[in-house]
Amino acid sequence: MNFKLTADAWVGVAVLVFAGIVYYEAAQIPASPLYARVGPAVFPFFISGAMALLGAALLVQGLRGGWSHEDPELTLLPDWRAVFWIALGLAVNLAAIADLGFTLASALMFACVSRCFGSKRPVADFGVGFALAAFAYLGFSVGLGINIGEGILEKLVF
Amino acid sequence: MMLRRDFLKTTLAAGAFAGMSAPAFAQTMDRLRMYIPAAPGGGWDQTGRTMEQAMRAAGIVQNFQFENVPGAGGAVGLPRFLGMRGQGDILMVAGMVMVGSLIANKSPVKITDATPIARLTGEYQVVVVPPNSPHRDMRSLAAAVKANPGSVSWAGGSAGGTDHILVGMIGQNLGVEPKAMSYVAFAGGGPAQAALLGGQTTAGVSGWGEFAEQVKAGRLRAIGLSAPTRQAGIDVPTLKEQGIDVELANWRGVFGAPGISAAQRTALTAVVERMANSSQWKDECTKRDWTQILMTGDEFGRYVSAEVARIEGVLKNLGLAT
Amino acid sequence: METLADLATGFSVALTPTNLLFALVGTLLGTAIGVLPGLGPALTIALLLPITYKVDATGAFILFAGIYYGAMYGGSTTSILLNTPGESATIITSLEGNKMAKRGRAGAALATSAIGSFVAGTIGTIGITFVAPLVVELALNFGPAEYFSLMILAFVTVSAVLGNSATRGLASLFFGIWLGLIGIDLQTGQARFTFGLLELLDGINVIVVAVGLFAVGETLWLASRHAHGKDELLPMSGSLWMTREEWKRSWKPWLRGTGLGFSIGALPAGGAEIPTFLSYYIEKKLSTKPEEFGKGAIEGVAGPEAANNASAAGVLVPMLTLGLPTSATAAIMLSAFQSYGINPGPLLFETQATLVWGLIASLYIANVMLLVMNLPMVAVWVKILAIPKPWLYAGIMVFATIGTYGISQSVIDLALLYAVGIAGYFMRRFDFPTAPVIIGMILGPLAEQELRRALTISQGDMTVFLTRPLSASLLALAALALFGPVLWKLANRRG
């Protein structure tokens, strides 16, 4: 038998590591009071055990050549340019939403994600995203009285 | 009893203020922000929104703004509220549930860090059994617990909550280790009631309002109330008169931001007091079965500190706090 | 016949112009919030509670009931079109529904879900009208032991979504159960897997995980395949509406889903999600074209959609007959009763006959309104898929933000959404199915809690699950579903 360290084998390793983390965290749960016949740590230990078994099985499958090659779409090289733009969009949204507010952060994300999927007109994208986000913001604040993320712009305008 | 005594005290206090320096303590405000450390629709939210209605109707405050920050019985919302230092136009609705949650979740912040303004309402807990239960009173149930604590299962809300605290206190009073009380936690009042109606557990504990209708319809038998004395309108003997010296009220009240000035605190207390004595508020409380147990000022501050100590003790005995 | 007279009174209340208007506003609002992930009927009704100070009780409850039913209709729309479930009960709908949309049958998927919802809602409401008291007495026989056995039966349904490999499918399932355990343990108050974050104490919202895995994860995946042109949507094909064959394949799932949804919904701890799992499983087993499952089988939309609407009716059974709030929405509606000084309890039907029958009548009306409103809307909704692809995917991301950050204002929730999305990307890359994560997340903690309740009550005696007849029957059913097919095959081979 010919063992290969495929990407799939690393998935097995990751699942094993996950099982270890679950085990460690389960061991931190304090002992349960008398009345609880089955304590709060029983299920967590069970999950950790099951994950360890499944991780080992995946590792073996991975070392024997893995399963990813069965579907050619899985092993295509990622389009790094597109991945960069979408990752940037999500990161910008995450970083900016608390201060800039929902409308601006979402519009920026909208422009980045559009770019990711091949749009070549960043200004138009930003405009559409801004209109959509502002519409949603107003709809919520006027319709239901919910503030879905007030920031600089919302404080100034609304 | 308690109600009337507090009422007298607060009217006296308000009268004294009015006599001394009326203009400084105007009993109206332009704007009041309500901070609810729970989801819309829950008990604290309803308290806040009912306050809004009463204050608007009585012309005390016209402009209201609500903020809900739900999570973990208020343990998520409190730190954020404590960050609003010195802001004199905001009130947080909280209560006994938060005291317990902060202790059980080992929260780094304390409810006493906020400025206590007033205790408004409360609800006594009631012990019920299914109608076909052999236990007709608390003595009989207590005897069963003493004989074998494991054989008596208690349905109630989440572990460490008001219901569980009462069960722990009853156990302690009976000389049974609280940890040994067979407590079965349900997610909220509906599922717990369903289990009791179906006779799945021996007994159950919840706020009186939760069970009142089932008791009136004869689907549950109420055998003990956690009040100091018999309550008007509630035909249930107290735990105390049946030899179990336990008292517990699930109170709700309001708190100001930390570090507010004495004047800001007095102003907030004045509007809340005026609201609590308005007929609009009293009507709403009657409608909702909320017992009014108004307490303000330093007395309330001392009460909160005492509750923190008392509940911490019970939770330790239950094995939920260290 | 007394019931019919009561119902007639109810209709005379509900058919007044004002109350019809309330029903219309409610259904419109319900549809809108159903579409939005994270914003459910419970929160909406809670936000609208102040109207109880201005409107009479009948009007308010007719409005609330419209919102409640409307949300169930609306939730499926985004599941189908955008793979972004609006409600936890419509997560299963997105499995086949979105696949149908991708192969150009969005119109049929939306139509079967709207008509199925109407059938289920109407039959469910008939159930409330005529058999509610009976159903509720049966439902009270369910104790923790029975619920645990029901969860075990529901776990069998995961076999319908395991995908290409049982190992990977089960890994997904256990991952989901783990996600479900995060937070404070109800039975003992201990925090589990919260990593010191207060925000995790109440657990993770299943909608955040579903939107993260399905919408964010899928969009990340499509982005990474962009250069290879793998993110194409097939254009709409065939008729916008359901074909004759699609009708034929839909009506039985509608009825079966209704039966499952109403009966499980009426159980005080039944919920709306479990019947959708069971319905999906049964439809896959009974389908004449099981190979289409996973690629857009209409039965997999019709059944679960009927199930979630019927469960909405089922939940009203314990609420109206006993005053028991068994779902978040029911709990809020009960608190609305209180602001009218009405204490809902077992005597509600007697003391508030006009209100209750008016409410029931308005449920029939809301269902008709929703059908009339939603069928023509199908033509509008499918236009969403004609939006240029860059904007469509960007819009889905904005939508997902509203559903998480917008509702909770917590950057941690948004970070969680994206973390789940990244996990979803890797699951997609290594061919792990995502649906078992959701099933595990919903069923795992329920099964755990019921097991522990049952064992606390029985003082540790494990035999309760077998000595209680109902529980034993449910376990037998689970065993049959799991091992039946294998045994059947073995028997045939020998014979």
- Kindly tell me if the per-residue pLDDT of B296 is higher than 80: yes
Q: Give residue limits of the domains in chain C.
A: 2-494
Which residue in chain B has the smallest CA separation from C198? B76
Phi, psi of B87 (to 5 degrees): -85, 115
Asked if C203 is an interface residue toward chain B (Cβ–Cβ < 8 A), one would say no
pLDDT band at A21 (very low <50, low <70, confident <90, very high): very high
Asked if A80 is an interface residue toward chain B (Cβ–Cβ < 8 A), one would say no
Do B39 and C407 touch, CB atoms closer than 8 A?
no
Please judge whether A35 and B180 are an interchain contact, meaning their C-beta atoms are less than 8 angstroms apart.
yes
Q: Report the percentage of chain C scoring pLDDT > 90.
A: 31
Q: How many CA atoms lie within 13 A of B229 on its CB side?
A: 4
| DSSP-derived secondary structure letter, C163 | T
Q: Which CATH architecture has domain B124-242?
A: 3-Layer(aba) Sandwich (3.40)
Numbers of helices and strands, H then E, in chain B: 11, 10
Q: How many CA atoms lie within 13 A of A111 on its CB side?
A: 16
Which residue in chain A has the smallest CA separation from B154? A35
Please judge whether C431 and A71 are an interchain contact, meaning their C-beta atoms are less than 8 angstroms apart.
yes
pLDDT band at C495 (very low <50, low <70, confident <90, very high): low
- Give the list of residues 6+ apart from residue A11 with CB closer than 8 angstroms, or none: A58, A62, C430
Task: Quote the pLDDT of residue C233.
Answer: 62
Cα separation, B211 vs B193, whole angstroms: 8
Asked if A61 is an interface residue toward chain C (Cβ–Cβ < 8 A), one would say yes
Q: Using CA of residue B155, residue B157, residue B160, residue B161, what is the dihedral sign? A: negative
- Of the ranges B125-134, C101-110, C218-227, the best mean pLDDT one: B125-134
Query: What are the CB-based long-range contacts (under 8 Å, 24+) for B295-303?
Result: B295/B6, B295/B10, B295/B118, B295/B119, B295/B253, B296/B10, B296/B13, B296/B117, B296/B118, B296/B119, B296/B269, B296/B272, B297/B13, B297/B269, B299/B9, B300/B116, B300/B117, B300/B118, B300/B119, B300/B253, B301/B112, B301/B116, B303/B119
In the predicted model, what is the mean pLDDT of residues B196-214?
88
- Kindly tell me if the per-residue pLDDT of A91 is higher than 70: yes
Task: Quote the pLDDT of residue C494.
Answer: 66
Residue A86 neighbours by CB distance under 10 Å = 27
Please judge whether B200 and C144 are an interchain contact, meaning their C-beta atoms are less than 8 angstroms apart.
yes
Tens-digit pLDDT profile for residues B144-159: 999 998 899 999 888 8
In the predicted model, what is the mean pLDDT of residues A21-49?
83
Task: Quote the pLDDT of residue B13.
Answer: 38
Please judge whether A43 and C444 are an interchain contact, meaning their C-beta atoms are less than 8 angstroms apart.
yes
Q: How far is B319 from chain A (nearest CA, A)?
A: 6
Tens-digit pLDDT profile for residues C28-82: 888 888 877 767 788 788 778 778 778 888 888 889 989 988 888 888 888 888 8
Residues of chain C contacting residue B72, judged by C-beta atoms under 8 Å apart: 184, 198, 201-202
Residues of chain B contacting residue A34, judged by C-beta atoms under 8 Å apart: 177, 179-180, 319
Please judge whether A33 and B320 are an interchain contact, meaning their C-beta atoms are less than 8 angstroms apart.
yes
Which residue in chain A has the smallest CA separation from B320? A33
Cα separation, C313 vs C123, whole angstroms: 9
Please judge whether A125 and C391 are an interchain contact, meaning their C-beta atoms are less than 8 angstroms apart.
yes
Please judge whether B41 and C46 are an interchain contact, meaning their C-beta atoms are less than 8 angstroms apart.
yes
Task: Quote the pLDDT of residue C400.
Answer: 87
Do C407 and C43 touch, CB atoms closer than 8 A?
yes
- Kindly tell me if the per-residue pLDDT of C254 is higher than 90: yes
B-proximal residues of C, 346-365, CB under 8 Å: 346-347
Which residue in chain A has the smallest CA separation from B321? A30
Chain A neighbours (≥3 Cβ pairs under 8 A) are B, C
- Kindly tell me if the per-residue pLDDT of C451 is higher than 90: yes
B-proximal residues of C, 179-198, CB under 8 Å: 184-191, 198
In total, the C-beta contacts within 8 angstroms joining chain B to chain C are: 150
Residues of chain B contacting residue C142, judged by C-beta atoms under 8 Å apart: 198
Chain B neighbours (≥3 Cβ pairs under 8 A) are A, C
- Kindly tell me if the per-residue pLDDT of A52 is higher than 70: yes
Fold of B2-16+25-120+250-317: D-Maltodextrin-Binding Protein; domain 2 (3.40.190)
- Kindly tell me if the per-residue pLDDT of B3 is higher than 60: no
- Give the list of residues 6+ apart from residue A4 with CB closer than 8 angstroms, or none: A63, A65, A66
pLDDT band at A90 (very low <50, low <70, confident <90, very high): very high
In the predicted model, what is the mean pLDDT of residues C245-251?
90
Q: Which of A29, A34, A35, A38 to mutate to test the interface with B (most CBs of B within 10 A)?
A: A35
Task: Quote the pLDDT of residue C216.
Answer: 92
Asked if A47 is an interface residue toward chain C (Cβ–Cβ < 8 A), one would say yes
Tens-digit pLDDT profile for residues C398-426: 988 888 887 777 888 899 999 999 999 99
Task: Quote the pLDDT of residue B12.
Answer: 36
Tens-digit pLDDT profile for residues B232-280: 888 899 999 998 999 898 899 999 888 888 888 888 888 888 888 888 8
Residues of chain A contacting residue B181, judged by C-beta atoms under 8 Å apart: 35
Residues of chain A contacting residue C195, judged by C-beta atoms under 8 Å apart: 25
Which residue in chain A has the smallest CA separation from C186? A40
C-proximal residues of A, 127-146, CB under 8 Å: 128-129, 132-133, 136, 140, 144-146
Burial C402-427 (b: 16+ CB within 10 A, else e): bbbbbbbbbbebbebbbebbebbbeb
CA angle C419–C422–C425, rounded 5-degree value: 155
In total, the C-beta contacts within 8 angstroms joining chain A to chain B are: 15
Task: Quote the pLDDT of residue B23.
Answer: 39
Q: Give residue limits of the domains in chain B.
A: 2-16+25-120+250-317, 124-242
Query: A105 pairs with which residues across the strands?
Result: none
- Kindly tell me if the per-residue pLDDT of C5 is higher than 50: yes
Tens-digit pLDDT profile for residues C154-203: 998 888 888 888 899 999 999 999 999 998 888 888 889 988 887 788 88
Please judge whether A43 and C448 are an interchain contact, meaning their C-beta atoms are less than 8 angstroms apart.
yes
Which residue in chain B has the smallest CA separation from C204? B71
Chain B positions contacting chain A at CB under 8 Å are 150, 177, 179-183, 318-320
How much is the mean pLDDT over chain C? 87
Please judge whether A119 and C167 are an interchain contact, meaning their C-beta atoms are less than 8 angstroms apart.
no
**Phi-psi map region of C44: left, alpha, beta (phi>0 left; psi -120 to 50 alpha):** alpha
Cα separation, A29 vs A41, whole angstroms: 6
